[in-house]
């Protein structure tokens, strides 16, 4: 989601591309590259967003790419505690003792705090890594990375809208094909070019169109010419 990605113009986040598909609203992209739900919380960034929102604002939350791994003595400050509930893990990060929550707990804590401010929250699953990397047959979508179903469960628990950004992105990449998909990953299999970020913005818009969230009423007419596919 984060603006500019590598800061050299070669990569970009979809949060920096999505505003052109809305009308009548201002998009304030608070995404920061390299963050997990845990590190975004620890750095006070969720609190910043909570402080900014007003009743009726829409807030889209999407994490997952940086939340994996395992908690070890060389803790990277991003990995969440295993589980999907109230489990906690005790670690020391940068010399400071830290109680680490699960991915689900971080999302749900933020979603509930934002709802308490009157915000309309959308929990969006992470985008996929390049699904065409090193293969000639498109992979199955039946077994997504764990943070995809975790996000859906958290949306259900908090009574917020769920957008399966991962699935709509996979659908778009399947239709694009290997060559066009590989072309939008200039550095690695995670970070997209500005064109790829636009693809991910369009797949989010498609997922939003297929939801019941009122934000879909802010999608503008120009999106119709570039957003394709069926509701999944």
Question: Residue 188 half-sphere exposure, CB side, CA atoms within 13 Å?
Answer: 7
Whole-angstrom distance, CA of residue 152 vs CA of residue 87:
18
Contact 9, 22 (CB under 8 A): no
Cβ atoms within 10 Å of 4's Cβ, excluding its own: 15
pLDDT of 7 higher than 90 = no
pLDDT of 4 higher than 80 = no
Mean pLDDT of 202-216: 98
Domains delineated in the chain:
14-224 (3.40.50.1110)
Confidence of residue 6 (pLDDT cuts 50, 70, 90): low
Measured over all CA atoms, what is the biggest interatomic distance in the chain, rounded to whole angstroms?
52
Question: Residue 140 half-sphere exposure, CB side, CA atoms within 13 Å?
Answer: 2
Model pTM score? 0.96
Q: Mind listing the pLDDT tens digit for each residue in 126-139? A: 999 999 999 999 99
Residue that wins the pLDDT comparison between 8 and 208: 208
pLDDT of 27 higher than 60 = yes
Q: What is the 3-state secondary structure (H, E, C) of the chain?
A: CCCCCCCCCCCCCHHHCHHHHECCCCCCCCCCCCCCHHHHHHCCHHHHHHHHCCCCCEEEECCCCCCCCCCCCCCCCCCCECCCCCCEEEEEECCEEEEEEEHHHHHHHHHHHHHHCCCEEEEECCCCCCCCCCCCCCCCCCCCCCHHHHHHHHHHHHCCEEECHHHHHHHHHHHHCHHHHHCCCCCCCCCCCHHHHHHHHHHHHHHHHCCCCHHHHHECHHHHHCCCCCCC
CA 83 to chain centre: 19
Range in 33-42, 67-76, 97-106, 113-122 the model is least confident about: 67-76
Among 184, 186, 141, 189, smallest CA distance to 166 is for: 141
Q: Mind listing the pLDDT tens digit for each residue in 126-175? A: 999 999 999 999 999 999 999 999 999 999 999 999 999 999 999 999 99
């Amino acid at each position: 989601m984060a603006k500019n990605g590598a800061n050299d113009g070669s990569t970009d986040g979809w949060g920096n591309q999505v505003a052109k598909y809305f009308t009548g609203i201002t998009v304030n992209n608070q995404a920061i590259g390299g963050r997990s739900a845990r590190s975004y919380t620890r750095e006070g960034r969720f609190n910043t967003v909570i402080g900014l929102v007003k009743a009726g604002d829409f807030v889209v939350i999407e994490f997952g790419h940086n939340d994996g791994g395992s908690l070890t003595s060389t803790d990277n400050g991003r990995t969440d505690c295993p589980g999907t509930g109230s489990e906690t893990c005790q670690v020391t990060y940068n010399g400071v003792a830290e109680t680490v929550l699960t991915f689900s707990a971080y999302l749900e804590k933020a979603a509930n705090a934002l709802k308490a401010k009157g915000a309309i929250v959308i929990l969006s699953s992470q985008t996929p890594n390049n699904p065409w990397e090193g293969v000639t047959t498109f992979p199955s979508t039946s077994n997504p990375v764990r943070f995809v179903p975790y996000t859906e469960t958290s949306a259900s628990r908090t009574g917020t809208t769920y957008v399966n950004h991962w699935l709509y992105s996979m659908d778009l990449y399947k239709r694009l094909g290997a060559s066009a998909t590989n072309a939008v990953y200039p550095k690695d299999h995670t970070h997209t070019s500005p064109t790829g970020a636009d693809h991910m913005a369009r797949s989010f818009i498609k997922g939003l169109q297929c939801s019941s969230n009122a934000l879909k009423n802010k999608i503008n007419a120009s999106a119709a010419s570039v957003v394709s596919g069926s509701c999944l």
